[in-house]
Amino acid sequence: MSTITIKSPADFHVHLRQGSLSQLIVPHVRKGGFDVAYVMPNLKPPITNTELALKYKADLQKIDPNVEYLMTLYLSPELTPDEIRKASNAGVVGVKSYPRGVTTNSDGGIESYEAYYPIFEAMQEVDMVLNLHGEVPSDANANIHVLNAEPTFLPHLFKIHEAFPKLRIVLEHATTRAAVEAVKKCGPTVACTITAHHLALIVDDWAGQSWNFCKPVAKFPDDRQALRDVVKEGHPRFFLGSDSAPHPPHAKSTSSPTHACAAGVYTSPILLPLVAHLLESFSALDKLEGFASTFGRAFYKLPIDESTNKVATLRRAPPGTLVEGEYNLGDESLVPFWAGKEIGWILSDSE
Amino acid sequence: MSTITIKSPADFHVHLRQGSLSQLIVPHVRKGGFDVAYVMPNLKPPITNTELALKYKADLQKIDPNVEYLMTLYLSPELTPDEIRKASNAGVVGVKSYPRGVTTNSDGGIESYEAYYPIFEAMQEVDMVLNLHGEVPSDANANIHVLNAEPTFLPHLFKIHEAFPKLRIVLEHATTRAAVEAVKKCGPTVACTITAHHLALIVDDWAGQSWNFCKPVAKFPDDRQALRDVVKEGHPRFFLGSDSAPHPPHAKSTSSPTHACAAGVYTSPILLPLVAHLLESFSALDKLEGFASTFGRAFYKLPIDESTNKVATLRRAPPGTLVEGEYNLGDESLVPFWAGKEIGWILSDSE
């Protein structure tokens, strides 16, 4: 097989930031082969209402009008059932829940889910999607740490799903066998995104290597195997959400004993080739279109429009093709995941 | 309590390196309050025979003649039972076993212990100590990674102990509850060192923070609790081995996506105050002399000579006392663990 075509690849979890960084990275959605971006709301200030979401969408469209931006709100006490109805009418697709303090700009994250049941009720009525960052905050006294934060969260998923069985829920960026099994056990309204980098990394890869550090952290080899297996199985409720999260090189480096590096791995500009490369590494290349397009589109009720949606074509990269090391725009600079490493596929409109 | 005196503090696991780095760090043994250094043999080339050990000891004595250096050999195929007898006669105290590839300069480490049984037999005869780096190499196919590498090693400890019940064995730098329980289960010939930094750190502390990255990596809160508990219990087979391991700042920083940082945490110059500070944090200050001197000395059969051995005196540090940020000598530079953090105790001969 020397070429692969994928109808309208969709990235169901991406951070597009603000300001000058946004100028650099928004065009990378299409550069990475994608037509659809499901946009995270963890800005400063967070996107907590319809007005902010529409303003943000307009900003993104100004940078690249050819991407379909699916907007989300940041779950916070500011949100009301009325605002949910308003957001839904305005085309906002989902609401993202961040547990407090677990990742970039999550200081306003939630501590208790039951307080939000009226919001979930309204979301269920208008058929909005709840996107869960599925980790609980670390707590040494309870032996909760970055490696069991996700399994420890799963009872919350079950509880919300049981209380709102018709509410569509996505467990974002799953990293553990436990999470894969939990989502499988749930009904058809519960799905799961998987990032590219979690198909590649394990804990050993970020031990002493802050560039591979993200939240949720990559877990054990057996967990990675579970992610690979569910992709290879072609399970329709498991699909790509890159969680591509740019941080400038100085923030990803660990130069000081008193400052930890920023959590996040940047994959947008090489996303579709990288996903193809990784899926091929575990013999799942035939599931690429499902994983990177049709499964997520089905769950999100976004059918492909053959007349307008893009078809991405990947071709076999010449042996020795390496991923570009750095992207720059003005003062902004980014080093992508897999920089300098060999990759087996490139987009056919790339050189 | 405003002062504490400790008879002849002994660090039963320390890396003193070579060349100009050695010039900087060897004086830090006494600066950190210690009288005795149990010296690791993982140099380039490794200390694999008596001659090299005696040469290395002479080098160290030239830098600071006032420390008692206890020398070790690097377990490798070069070692013979005759060499063990020779080493023992020359005053070499122990033999260090490194599993291949798990830490700094361990490429020559061992893969199978049974091949070394004739060596262990000779060691048992002459009463030398076997120092085990108790980790197996990571192996994704077997789901072995940096966080279960130590528990996975423990069957080797039991097997060697069973085969050589009179051989004194030290499981070095234990980091897990499983290791603590394993050593407790063994007979009186098996002991265990614990580092200062593993009494402080958990996995969350080195996630994205390469300066806290060492091997074995710090584990889960429950594991740290087990280390603290066994120190607080005053168990005589658990004592301090700092595993103080200097790496220059550029090697500890993670500036590049393709280079991981060096594994190691540097505690020598602040060791006794740091240990006092940490023990006090979990109400074990009354066990300081046992943990940092007498327990290890008893296991190693090194009684204190009241006429020659140093007495270290710690006094309560003025509030706001911070650990020095950097040590320099010529081109060498080192940033210690706990740099810039508040510390509750200082040595009475320090300013």
Closest CA to A252 of A307, A213, A284, A294: A213
Interior angle at CA A174, CA A172 and CA A176, nearest 5? 160
Q: How far is A313 from chain B (nearest CA, A)?
A: 29
> Residue A136 has what pLDDT?
93
pLDDT in tens, A1-58: 789 999 999 999 999 999 999 999 999 999 999 999 999 999 999 999 999 999 999 9
Each residue's pLDDT tens digit, A75-128? 999 999 999 999 999 999 999 999 876 666 666 656 679 999 999 999 999 999
Q: How many domains does chain A have?
A: 1
> Where residue B309 falls among pLDDT bands split at 50, 70, 90?
confident
**Tokens 């603590």 map to which residue?**
B180
In whole angstroms, give the CA distance from residue B104 to residue B167: 26
What is the CB-side half-sphere exposure of residue B112 using CA atoms within 13 A? 4
Q: Are B120 and B164 in contact (CB under 8 A)?
A: yes
SS3 B291: helix
Percent of chain B with pLDDT over 70: 96
Residue B336 pLDDT more than 80?
Answer: yes
Q: How far is CA B323 from CA A33, A286, B214, B317, in A?
A: 51, 57, 20, 11
Q: Which residues of B touch A204 (CB under 8 A)?
A: 138, 140, 145-146
Across all residues in chain B, what is the average pLDDT?
94
What digits encode the pLDDT tens for the residues A223-264? 999 999 999 999 999 999 999 999 999 999 877 888 889 999
Q: How far is A205 from chain B (nearest CA, A)?
A: 9
Percent of chain A, pLDDT > 90?
89
- B43-74: pLDDT as tens digits: 999 999 999 999 999 999 999 999 999 999 99
Q: What is the pTM of this model?
A: 0.95
φ/ψ of B150, rounded to 5, equals -80, -50
* Collapsed DSSP state (helix, strand, coil) of residue B90: coil
Inter-chain CB pairs, A–B, below 8 Å = 119
Q: CB of B102 within 8 A of CB of B137?
A: yes
- In angstroms, the CA B317 to CA B3 distance is 10
Identify the helix (H) or strand (E) that includes residue A273. Answer: helix A271-281
Q: Identify the pLDDT of residue B110.
A: 61
Structural domain boundaries enclosing B285: 3-347
Confidence label for A190 from pLDDT (cuts 50, 70 and 90): very high
- Give chain A's count of helices (H) and strands (E): 12, 14
* Closest alpha carbon to B80 in B122, B111, B40: B122
Q: For residue A83, what are its two tokens? A: 């605002």
Q: Is the pLDDT of residue B235 over 80?
A: yes
CB contact under 8 A, B254 and A262: no
Per the DSSP assignment, residues forming a β-bridge with B6 are B312
Q: How far is CA A343 from CA A168, A292, A335, B222, in A?
A: 35, 18, 16, 41
**The domain that contains B90 carries what CATH number?**
3.20.20.140
Degrees, nearest 5: CA angle A230-A232-A234: 75
Span B181-198, mean pLDDT?
98
DSSP result, A3-66: EEEEES-EEEEE---SHHHHHHHHHHHHHTT-SEEEE----SS---SHHHHHHHHHHHHHH-TT
pLDDT confidence band for B100 (50 / 70 / 90): confident
DSSP secondary structure, B22-79, as one string: HHHHHHHHHHTT-SEEEE----SS---SHHHHHHHHHHHHHH-TTSEEEPEEE--TT-
Range 89-128 of B in CB contact (< 8 A) with A? none
- B322 vs A: CB within 8 A: no
Residues in contact with A231: Cβ distance below 8 Å, sequence separation at least 6, in sequence order? A194, A199, A238, A279, A282, A284, A287, A291
Place of tokens 């149990």: B38
B306 — pLDDT class (breaks 50, 70, 90): confident
Q: What percent of chain A has pLDDT over 70?
A: 96
Asked if B136 is an interface residue toward chain A (Cβ–Cβ < 8 A), one would say no
Residues in chain A: 351
User: Which of B:195-224 have CB within 8 Å of A?
Assistant: 202-204, 206-213, 217, 220-222, 224
Closest CA of chain B from A167, distance in Å: 33
Average pLDDT over residues A156-171: 97
The model's pLDDT over B129-158, given as tens digits with 9 standing for 90+, comes to 999 999 999 999 999 999 999 999 999 999
Average pLDDT (B244-263) is 89
| ipTM confidence score | 0.93
CB atoms within 10 A of CB B257: 24
The chain A residue lying nearest B219, using CA atoms, is A145
Is the Cβ pair A255, B255 closer than 8 Å? yes
B84 φψ region: left (φ > 0), alpha (ψ -120 to 50), beta (else): alpha
Position B351 scores a pLDDT of 36
- Helix or strand run (H / E) with residue A81: helix A81-89
The count of other CB atoms within 10 Å of the CB of residue B330 is 9
Residue A203 banded pLDDT, cuts 50, 70, 90: very high
